[in-house]
Structure 1
């Protein structure tokens, strides 16, 4: 008679004391872990992330890559050029195992090396300009959204002015009259600093508007009211309560702002007001390739595809990151 009574008791004790596997499975996951699981399931976003990481590694280790797979980016190879046509002697622009993307017309510089080194300039300006925009936009956006009133009106009108500003014309005018040395910098270091300032400083309203709107929706939430009731000051609420809840939109919009800044830098270099030659940039290479697009299409395709792939990868990753961090999409 005891056996039937023991069986349920043993099963109840087993249910009350799950094994290691059940205990691990029943543990909750943090919001970051949940977002990472969602992002991993998005194959398109993960493909974009892999390409972004690869492009960053290419830019970071450009000298090592060129040492083993190419030639110095500013080294001329006149023996590769037809003196009559000013293009490569070999078909397909001189593409070979020694010159992976062929050579430039007229001077015979290695296209592969220049595209790899061009990634350093374009990615550097894109990341630094985005950092400037994010810092300024987050500061003014969270201040305007939290305090409201005349502070919000003043910041909002400033955003309208910056958004209406003819940025491209201003950049061309400023870089065109730039001295050879200023602020302790000279040459291309000065040009890169000016480009980062122009692109970053005048693009902050885009992320500022997003942060302002998110802050307005968060400032009346229960956790903010609880912090106020406990005597928390404005700085504590801004830095400890609101800012951590704004990390997701900041990250998402940053990934979408980087390719925009890369395109803007390429446009300035294409117009001749970016980084001065012979330093390679993708936009500068496209500008030089315009004259030879019929005779040497690889001269235009190499930097063009590099820009296209990089911008597309950032956009795909940004879209996937937005979906992963937004629970309303699931």
Structure 2
């Protein structure tokens, strides 16, 4: 009688099965985001820009000169001061660019342009971030309320959105700054102007994000988990905070990253028109990239326009690349 042999491997030599590791939604999104090289490059650039804004005094101390230090005996004022030696770099003729002045000098008073661009990042990003925060808070709240409750509430809020979207914001900003007193609300000077810009940009831009949040809320309120919460006796505020807001974080975060560059451009436009932060001669420099471009337009100096313009261009491009990559990572279905 034939005997059956056991061909299976001994128990001691068997390799234990590896447990399947679960991954959170955040980890999956991070994995997708890491694969997008353009988005990662934009994110790294954004981090470097924030680092530059926060540590502006340290960076200027290493690579530049105090932003309000005049160098009237340098290259740019050679014609007026008797033919001193000039520094040329590429097509920036008579710019004063050298190892001591990386971006050259201003044409009027010889201030270090590198220092002003670095300090300009501090003011421009501060206004853009805080204005975006105001827009996100107001827009998210109004959008959730309109989408969840519907009816007359939705009608009134939607009408307010249309009113704000039709408002001539640029003309209002120019008119408001024109009648601005020297002191108000305990603020004065550039502090008052910065607060006013944050209010104007943030308060009047909330309808854009409110429309997106409202549309998402209209979809979420018909989902099964919301019906389950209602069946268990949950009320509106609990459902909004505990059930809906966690599902709205992704679209709000994505739109916020895309709204920041828009606010940077709007602040630059206001400063270019002369209704933004004003330049200071003494003390902390009240300078933005838009203000530098405004001064450059009056002087028609190539390098004076180039470096602030490139700072705005790189910042806006970095935020847009990162925002697009974040959107694709959090919602792969949106990628075509």
Scaled by the length of structure 1, the TM-score of the pair is 0.93
Query: Does residue 1:49 correspond to 2:40, yes or no?
Result: no
In the other structure, the counterpart of 2:162 is 160
TM superposition shift of 1:180: 1.0
In the other structure, the counterpart of 1:7 is 8
TM superposition shift of 1:292: 2.8
- The change in CA–CA distance for 1:152 and 1:9 in structure 2 (over 3 A counts) is farther
> CA deviation digits over 1:180-230, x for unaligned, max 9?
111111111111011000000000000000000000000010000000000
Mapping 1:49-198, distance limit 5 Å: 49-80=43-74, 81-82=76-77, 84=79, 89-91=86-88, 92=92, 93-198=95-200
In the other structure, the counterpart of 2:243 is 241
- The change in CA–CA distance for 1:41 and 1:85 in structure 2 (over 3 A counts) is farther
Mapping 1:254-269, distance limit 5 Å: 254-269=256-271
**C-alpha distance in 2, partners of 1:3/1:47?**
63
| Bigger mean CA offset, 74-83 vs 315-324 | 74-83
SS in 2 for 1:82: helix
In the other structure, the counterpart of 1:275 is 277
**C-alpha distance in 2, partners of 1:65/1:89?**
25
In the other structure, the counterpart of 1:285 is 292
TM superposition shift of 1:276: 1.1
TM superposition shift of 1:52: 0.4
- Contact kept, 8 Å, 2:134 with 2:203, in 1: the verdict is yes
Q: How many residues align?
A: 321
Q: What do you get for the CA RMSD once the two structures are aligned? A: 2.0
- Contact kept, 8 Å, 2:78 with 2:86, in 1: the verdict is no
Alignment gaps of 5+ in structure 1: none
**Poorly superposed stretches of 4+, deviation over 6 Å:** none
**C-alpha distance in 1, partners of 2:311/2:122?**
12
Out of 210, 232, 248, the residue aligned to residue 230 of structure 1 is 232
